[in-house]
C-alpha cells in the first residue's frame, strides 16, 4: 500500500492530497511535489496526523502558508502537514486577541484594528501566518511579534503533546525563537494589545502598506526578504554594493526595486533561486567580508 493509502486509512476524512505540487503552496511559486500533503483543521487532527506518521516511521515536514519557504525541485518525501486557512480563527477578548496558527497576519491585524486595538499595525502587510510569524519572530517597521505576545500553545512534534508557554519561555529573538530552535510547532497564540483610535490605527496600517508597495517588489513571486539583516549592516545595501542588483540566474533575479529580495520572474526553478543565493553570498563576502544568512526556510531535496 502507498503512503497515501496508509494515511488515508489512519486518518479518515482528512484533507489529504497525493503527489501535490508544492509550487501551489508557496509564495515563491517554485518547488517539486510532496508525496502526501495534509491540510489540518484542528489540534486533535494535527496530533492524530503526527502520531500516525511517527507510528509508521514517515518523515514529516510542517509548513504554514508558504510565504517564507523555498521547496527544492525534487520535492518533499513523506508527509507535509500544512497549517493554512483551514487552521485559522480569531477571538477577541477585551484587550487580547487569540489566533490559531493558520490565521493570516493581514486578517489578524485587520481584526485588531476593527476592535480598536493597537500593536499589530506592523504586521498588516506581512504575507504570512501566525504560526510561522511566531516561530521566526516576524517583524517590520520597528515592530515584532515578541512585542505583543503574551503566550502560545506549542506542540512537541515528536510526541504530539501540547503545552502553553509564556513569552519568556518562548525565547523570541531576531528572526528566531525556542520554537524554531527546538523544532516545535505553535498551534495558537495570545496577543495583548492596547486600546486605540480605530481611524488612527487604520491610517498607520495604510501608511505602512503604502511604503511596502513603494519599496518592495510585490508584483513578482518571492519569499519576502531572502537574507537576515547582518549586524550593523543591511543585506540589500550590501548586495547592491556588490553590484548584484538585477542579477539573474535563469528565472530568478535579485530585485531591481529592492536588492534584499530574490524574485521569480515567471519561470524560475528552485535550483535557479538557490544558485542565485549562493552567488549573492559569495560576492557579498568577497566585497565586504560579511557572510549573509538566509531568512527564507529551505526544505526538500534536489531533483
Residues with catalytic function:
175, 225, 295
Asked if 10 contacts 27 with a C-beta cutoff of 8 angstroms, the reply is: no
Query: Between 43-55 and 3-10, two packed helices, what is the crossing angle to 10 degrees?
Result: 130
Cα distance from N-terminal residue to C-terminal residue, the chain:
25
Asked if 260 contacts 226 with a C-beta cutoff of 8 angstroms, the reply is: yes
Q: Is 264 helix (H, G, I), strand (E, B) or coil?
A: strand
The total of other beta-carbon atoms located within 10 Å of residue 184's CB is 21
Q: What is the grid cell recorded at 280?
A: 549573492
Q: Is 52 helix (H, G, I), strand (E, B) or coil?
A: helix
Buried b (16+ CB within 10 A) or exposed e, 92-116: beeeebbbbbbbbbbbbbbbbbebb
Amino acid at each position: 500500500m502507498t503512503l497515501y493509502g496508509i494515511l488515508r486509512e489512519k486518518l479518515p476524512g482528512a484533507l489529504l492530497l497525493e503527489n501535490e505540487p508544492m509550487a501551489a503552496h508557496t509564495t515563491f511559486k517554485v518547488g517539486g511535489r510532496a508525496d502526501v500533503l495534509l491540510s489540518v483543521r484542528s489540534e486533535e487532527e494535527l496530533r492524530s496526523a503526527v502520531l500516525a506518521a511517527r507510528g509508521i516511521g514517515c518523515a514529516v515536514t510542517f509548513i504554514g502558508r508558504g510565504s517564507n519557504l523555498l521547496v527544492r525541485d525534487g520535492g518533499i518525501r513523506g508527509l507535509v502537514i500544512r497549517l493554512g486557512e483551514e487552521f485559522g480563527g480569531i477571538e477577541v477578548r477585551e484587550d487580547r486577541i487569540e489566533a490559531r496558527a493558520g490565521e493570516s497576519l493581514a486578517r489578524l491585524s485587520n481584526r485588531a484594528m476593527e476592535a480598536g486595538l493597537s500593536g499589530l499595525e506592523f504586521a498588516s502587510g506581512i504575507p504570512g501566518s501566525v504560526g510561522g510569524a511566531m516561530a521566526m519572530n516576524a517583524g517590520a517597521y520597528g515592530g515584532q511579534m515578541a512585542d505583543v505576545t503574551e503566550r502560545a500553545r506549542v506542540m512537541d512534534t515528536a510526541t504530539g503533546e501540547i503545552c502553553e508557554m509564556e513569552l519568556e519561555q518562548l525565547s523570541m529573538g531576531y528572526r528566531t525563537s525556542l520554537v524554531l530552535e527546538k523544532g516545535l510547532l505553535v498551534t495558537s497564540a495570545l496577543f495583548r494589545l492596547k486600546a486605540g483610535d480605530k481611524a488612527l490605527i487604520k491610517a498607520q496600517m495604510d501608511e505602512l502598506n503604502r511604503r511596502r508597495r513603494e519599496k518592495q517588489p510585490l508584483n513578482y513571486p518571492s519569499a519576502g526578504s531572502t537574507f537576515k539583516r547582518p549586524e550593523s549592516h543591511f543585506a540589500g545595501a550590501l548586495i547592491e554594493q556588490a553590484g548584484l542588483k538585477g542579477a539573474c540566474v535563469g528565472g530568478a533575479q535579485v530585485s531591481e526595486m529592492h536588492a534584499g529580495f530574490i524574485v521569480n520572474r515567471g519561470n524560475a526553478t528552485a535550483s535557479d533561486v538557490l544558485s542565485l543565493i549562493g552567488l549573492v553570498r559569495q560576492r557579498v563576502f568577497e566585497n565586504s567580508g560579511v557572510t549573509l544568512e538566509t531568512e527564507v526556510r529551505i526544505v526538500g531535496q534536489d531533483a
